[in-house]
Amino acid sequence: MFHLYHRNDTGHPVDFEHPEWETYHKQGDKPLVSSLIEAFTYIYQHDRFRKAEQEAGGDIKKMGLDKKSREKVMKIKRRQKIRRVEYLFRQIESENAELKKLSIY
């Protein structure tokens, strides 16, 4: 089994002299693969999906996904929105301790 890591999009070319300095993250939806072919297939599909998403302007309905894939993407987007709101509340509470007292958590 191989752990699949993905380089973060920085807008800069990869520093091949020091690739260990690049920023990577573990793929949450596919952390382990059993072969290099499976890894390359996943990366190809991932990049193809991102390109289609950009071409559709982020509109999932225009991307022509099947129902299962569309539901998966919508679930990911909902989780991202929830995390963003939770992050904003943490920021607000960290700046004002009095507001934290009003929190239910």
Could you list the pLDDT tens digit for every one of the 105 residues in the chain?
888 887 877 778 888 888 888 888 888 778 788 998 998 998 888 888 888 888 888 777 777 777 888 788 888 889 989 999 999 988 888 888 777 777 665
Give the per-residue pLDDT at 67: 82
Looking at the fold, whether 18 and 43 belong to one and the same domain comes out as yes
**How far, in Å, CA of 5 to CA of 28, rounded?**
9
Query: Which residues have CB under 8 Å from 62's CB, separation 6+?
Result: 56
Looking at the fold, whether 71 and 92 belong to one and the same domain comes out as yes
Looking at the fold, whether 10 and 53 belong to one and the same domain comes out as yes
Give the per-residue pLDDT at 69: 80
Looking at the fold, whether 35 and 13 belong to one and the same domain comes out as yes
Q: How many domains does the chain have?
A: 2
Looking at the fold, whether 7 and 27 belong to one and the same domain comes out as yes
Looking at the fold, whether 19 and 41 belong to one and the same domain comes out as yes
Looking at the fold, whether 4 and 33 belong to one and the same domain comes out as yes
Looking at the fold, whether 47 and 88 belong to one and the same domain comes out as no
| Residue-range definition of the domain harbouring residue 28 | 1-58
Looking at the fold, whether 40 and 86 belong to one and the same domain comes out as no
Give the per-residue pLDDT at 81: 92
CB count in 10 Å sphere of residue 93 = 16
